[in-house]
Amino acid sequence: MDYQFRDIEKKWQQFWAENQTYKVDNKSSRPKYFVLDMFPYPSGAGLHVGHPLGYIASDIFARYKRLKGFNVLHPMGYDSFGLPAEQYAIQTGQHPAITTETNIARYREQLDNIGFSFDWSREVRTSDPSYYKWTQWIFMQLFNSWYNLDSDKAEPISALISVFEKSGNHSVRAVSDEDIPYFTAEQWSVKSENEKQEILLKYRLTYLRESTVNWCPAMGTVLANDEVKDGFSERGGFPVVQKKMMQWSMRITAYADRLLQGLDSIDFPEPLKEMQRNWIGKSVGAMVKFSLSPSLVENLGDADKDKFIEVFTTRADTIYGASFLVLAPEHELVTALTTNAQKAEIEEYILLTRKKSELERMADAKAVSGAFTGSFAIHPLSGQQIPVWIADYVLAGYGTGAVMAVPSGDQRDWLFATKYNLPIVAISDAQQNLDQQADPTKEGRYINSDLINGLSYQEALPVLINKLEELNAGKAKINYRMRDAIFGRQRYWGEPVPVYFKDGLPHLIQQSELPLVLPEVDKYLPTESGEPPLARAEDWRYSLSSEQGNGEVYEYELSTMPGWAGSSWYWYRYMASPEEREENVFAPESAINYWKSVDLYIGGSEHATGHLLYSRFWNKFLKDLGYVSEEEPFKKLINQGMIQGRSNFVYRIKDEAGKGTNVFVSHGLKDQYLTTPLHVDVNIVAHEILDIEAFKKSRPEYEQAEFILENGKYICGVEVEKMSKSKFNVVSPDDIVERYGADTLRLYEMFLGPLEQSKPWNTNGIEGVFKFLRKFWKLFHDDSFNFRVSEDEPSKAEYKALHKIIRKVEEDIERFSFNTSVSSFMICVNELTDLKCTKREILQQLVVVLHPYAPHITEELWVLLGNNPGTLSFADYPEFKPGYLVENEFAYPVSINGKMKMNLNISLSSESAEVEQLVLNNEDVKRYLDGKSPKKMIFVKGKIINLVV
RNA sequence: GCUGAAGUGGUGGAACUGGUAGACACGCAGGACUUAAAAUCCUGUUCGCCUUAAAGCGAGUGCGGGUUCGAUUCCCGCCUUCAGUACCA
């Protein structure tokens, strides 16, 4: 029989499922390997052809590793909490759990069609209570922990309480809120329980804090940053305003430095590491205090008397060039500092900046504006009085929300000083053209800088820091751009937060009460009073168990966890086998110690600063508490590129009035007419040629359509866009599988180009891949498609073809160059076809080598070759024997002045002198030299001969 | 603006440490088989010039320089595209 991919693929997919071929054990004599894919959100649109790209790559890798003798964990699951299902629920009233279930079933069917070697017994769904029980449990651990800077790790909050009881908080070095007053053990002991809880909340790794959120009044809901475009909601285009709200936050900043350091130990793509470094945004500098001028202090209220302005700078060396201070308009001291004379001006300015949208702020990035408070601060080293201004180029959220302005060294300060006529003091003899722009050079020697005059940058910095510390006016300080992560959404379809409120303070529910199950609600919208949807749940209150409680009931937290909660630890759940999931732990210690961490993680780079940062954070936290063993969760990560859509267009002719006619003109002739380009379904276009009959049938109004053709064909226009339903450019893997089979789809997606590169989808080359598989099938069959292999000893050429591919595929897979192996398979099969090879010795090994790429056809042939069904996945990858590739002759390219002219067969054992003789006496070479004698001959053994004339 | 990645035939792409640029595949052209079509197979296919043909000559990896016997690969400057980020003191 000819290659019957439909039967073969169905048969083997069924076999693998029935026999649980890829179910993996947490025990094995073989070494372990964990291959993970970023799990999908099951959207209603189903998989398109771009989704499986990474999954195919990881599946090839997983199958290859199995052949190489590894015990491979290769699981799949669903990140099934999320907004689209909730949006759909709001519109239709259908419970998101039902939508999600339907979508998952569809995804599963599509994934099964492609022949992945997933261990489905370990599937996870983040929206499943048995899963989110542990997401909630991790939240509780975070609530019960604080970050100790002395040990540089998270520790139980109970340990902190003992310290407070023994010696207060003077000696505690923690990552915490800033506004914690010092107290002694004695003071602690007399505090009320609520006061204690209030203080502890400032230390906990997850805590409540007032944060600004994107509030959309029209939708009655909070939006994520990426749901807001230019101040309007992406969906619906309603205005969005900034609103302060009490929100759960995660103290990820405690881990900033470890997240940064850890990057050096993991194998991630350099651009991704760079993105994380920028996101963390570590800057080394100094905090400097500027006290307020005495005349001002007299007029201040008692509360502000000991206040000073603290700034953060990365260029403490430029301190003598600081000629004014600038505060963010939101800075807490602005009101106190504003003199009566300046009050009107300052208030007007603050009002102005509040009105400016993000967009406007960005648009006039070059223009600076500000207002003078009327007050002066004292320069800590020179003692001079310098004016204090406010300006919106200083951000309240970064550093201290105040800067010392050094106009000679910083361009924004320079612009500001120029605009408002403030002094620009040169501080280095290397600075140039200060009348035109700032010069931030670190070269040269300092001038106008008292203490450090004549010193270089390297010499000056320690001198300054020491002096500032001595004066108690400053200290070295490291600052991070990264902020603590908001951990809550005012939405329904997410994990409930296992917290109830008593006297306005949050308390955890009992661990034994987990999971706290998402309650039913009548509508998935916020309440009339603006509370999240969970407030609609009836009888959803917390009451303490009878031995502790007194029958009182309390309100639960009404927000739910954000999208990243469930995905920040899921790889550990995969480690637990189905049996172990019954145990009361997120994953048993033995399983974690066996699988340790993910060896290979494949996914999109869009998760660079979200998921991949949060996951590393939770992993480090779980390690601090001793629940997991590795500091980093993902040892190696590969970003697969995006597959873009390739849209096709037809051009409808407009009449003079601009009205559309029913005549369509081919792309090459469209410029002769007035036309409207219309998207046309890419599935009825092949090589840009429109299937006119299919087009006519696609819509009733096209039935009578007329066409102006070129060369008898209708040629469509092409554009690369995102793949989406509305652009009619979605290609579903199902269609490809139906037409060519899963093995062709797998090979073709790899053949398209390097895995990491983004590329538009097109099926132009798919025929070639399909033909290759038929050719491969034919190697095992005679002309009438009877299976036949011979037991004869292969020839040298046959061995050579085989061992070339054995080595090539090994090398390619190890460096994730899957596209090049597909080409090499084609070359190999072409060679063996030319050699009329039918030898079992060759073909059986080739089956094993091709198996990771095309698992179905190889399984079928494996069994036809007489092997047991299902054993191919665990066969041995053939051993490469270099002996088969050794040649004793090589066709040396002979070039003259670097230009290739001819090839010359010369023994590989020949040395330079011998070769020179041979080359110079060659008739063709003589002809090229045209009587001239070469100056020099370059000879690289096995590579090239180059004559220099 | 800054950071990162990438620019190679008509198309997707290959060339792994500086050593035969365009492998492999698509498309296209021509041919075989066929009543015909599909399928399959064979031949050609970077561009330009010259030639009946064989052969030959020249140019060529975004652009301009450089290093080298030799550069798609290394260095300097520039252009374009994509991604991330956005007044970060």
With a cut of 80, say whether residue A713 has pLDDT above it: no
Dihedral class, residue A503 (left if φ above 0, else alpha if ψ from -120 to 50, else beta): left
Residue A398 Cβ under 7 A from any strand B atom: yes
CA-to-CA dists, residue A566 to A45, A122, A558, A794, angstroms: 22, 16, 18, 55
Measured between alpha carbons, how far is A452 from A608 in angstroms, rounded to an integer? 43
In this predicted model, which residue has the larger pLDDT, A224 or A664? Answer: A664
Distance CA A120, CA A578 (A): 10
A611 or A729, which is more confident: A611
Cβ of A511 less than 7 A from strand B = no
Using CA atoms, how far apart are residues A458 and A285, in angstroms rounded to an integer? 14
Query: In the prediction, which pLDDT does A939 show?
Result: 87
Is the CA virtual torsion A299, A304, A305, A308 positive or negative?
negative
A915: pLDDT confidence band, cut at 50, 70 and 90? confident
The Cβ of residue A569 has, within 10 Å, a number of other Cβ atoms equal to 25
Closest CA to A707 of A680, A739, A736: A680
| A44 pLDDT more than 80 | yes
On the question of pLDDT at A366 being above 70, the answer is: no
Bigger pLDDT: A810 or A220? A810
Identify the DSSP state of A459.
Answer: H
Q: Are the CB atoms for A605 and A271 separated by under 8 Å?
A: yes
Mean pLDDT of A361-385: 80
Contact of A892 with A48, CB cutoff 8 Å: no
Measured CA A605 to C1' B83 distance, in angstroms: 9
pLDDT at A549: 63
DSSP code per residue over A321-349: G--EEEE-TT-TTHHHH--GGGHHHHHHH
Q: What is the mean pLDDT of residues A717-737?
A: 82
Band of pLDDT at residue A764, cut at 50, 70 and 90: confident
Please compute the mean of the pLDDT values over residues A628-645 and round it to a whole number. 91
pLDDT for residue A124:
97
CB A83 within 8 A of CB A234: no
Other CB atoms within a 10 A radius of the CB of residue A551 amount to 7
Q: Tokens at residue A749, please? A: 């997606």
- In the chain, the amino acid numbered A237 is G
ipTM reported for the complex, 2 dp? 0.94
Of A333, A303, A474, A328, the C-alpha closest to A399 is A328
Q: Are strands A282-292 and A643-654 parallel, antiparallel or unpaired?
A: unpaired
Tell the residue number behind the tokens 């132009």, with chain if given. Answer: A764
- pLDDT higher than threshold 80 for residue A852: yes
**pLDDT exceeds cutoff 50 at A616:** yes
Angle at the Cα of A57 from the Cα atoms of A52 and A61, rounded to 5 degrees: 140
Rounded CA separation A58/A52 (Å)? 10
Domains and CATH numbers, chain A: 139-253+486-556 (no CATH), 282-480 (3.90.740.10), 643-731 (no CATH), 739-884 (1.10.730.10), 887-948 (3.10.20.590)
In the structure, how far is the CA atom of residue A895 from the C1' atom of nucleotide B64, in angstroms? 27
Nucleotide nearest to A769 (CA to C1'): B25
- Report whether pLDDT(A170) > 80: yes
| Chain A residues 282 to 311 with C-beta below 7 Å from nucleic strand B | 283, 285
Cα–Cα dist A236/A565, whole Å: 27
Answer whether any strand B atom is within 7 A of the Cβ of A944: yes
| SS3 letters across A49-111 | CCCHHHHHHHHHHHHHHHHCCCEEECCCCECCCCHHHHHHHHHHCCCHHHHHHHHHHHHHHHH
Band (pLDDT 50/70/90 cuts) for residue A236 is low
- Residue A619 is predicted with a pLDDT of 96
Residue A386 sits at φ, ψ, to 5 deg, of -125, 145
Kindly determine whether the C-beta of residue A689 is less than 7 Å away from any atom of nucleic acid strand B: no
Q: Are A319 and A381 within 8 A, CB to CB?
A: yes
Average pLDDT on A4-24 reads 95
CA A722 vs CA A344, A587, A728, A758, A909: distances in Å: 51, 39, 11, 11, 56
Say how far residue A387 (Cα) sits from the centre of its chain.
45
Among the listed ranges A73-82, A571-580, A913-922, which one has the minimum average pLDDT value?
A913-922
HSE toward the beta carbon, residue A867, CA cutoff 13 A = 19
A278 touches strand B (CB under 7 A): yes
Check whether residue A271 has its CB closer than 7 Å to nucleic acid strand B: yes
Contact yes or no for A803/A881 (Cβ under 8 A): yes
Which nucleotides in chain B lie closer than 7 A to a protein CB? 3-5, 11-16, 19-21, 23-28, 40-41, 57, 69-71, 82-89
- Please report, rounded to a whole number, the percentage of residues in chain A having pLDDT higher than 90: 54
- The pLDDT tens digits of the residues spanning A561-570 come to 998 999 999 9
**SS3 category, A866:** coil
Distance A189 CA to B2 C1' (A): 53
Q: Report d(CA A468, CA A457) in Å as an integer.
A: 16
Q: Which residue has the tokens 């009329």?
A: A836
Confirm if A559 and A246 have CB atoms less than 8 A apart: no
Structure tokens at A67: 């052949």
Provide mean pLDDT across the span A99-104.
95
For the segment A246-264, the average pLDDT, to the nearest whole number, is: 92
Residue A801: phi, psi to the nearest 5? -60, -45
Which of A80, A218, A208 is CA-nearest to residue A139? Answer: A208
Nearest to A191 by CA among A155, A209, A165, A163: A165
Among A236-245, A741-750, A752-761, the least confident range: A236-245
| Mean pLDDT score across all residues of chain A | 88
Instruction: Report the first-to-last Cα separation within chain A, whole angstroms.
Output: 61
Q: Which helix (H) or strand (E) holds A146?
A: strand A145-148
Say how far A261 CA is from B1 C1', in Å.
28
Q: Residue A848 is encoded by which pair of tokens?
A: 């094993």
CA distances A79 to A126, A130, A572, A665, Å, are 5, 14, 14, 46
What is the rounded radius of gyration, in angstroms, for the C-alpha atoms of chain A? 35
Distance, angstroms, CA A328 to C1' B89?
12
Poorest-pLDDT segment among A316-320, A380-384, A686-690, A886-890: A686-690
Q: Which residues of A460-492 are buried (b: 16+ CB within 10 A; e: fewer)?
A: bbeebbebbeeeebbebbebbebebbbbbbbbb
User: Residue A900's beta-bridge partner residues?
Assistant: A895
Closest CA to A643 of A571, A724, A711: A724
Q: Tell whether omega for the bond before A440 is within 30 degrees of 0, i.e. cis.
A: no
CA dist A387 and A695 (Å) reads: 73
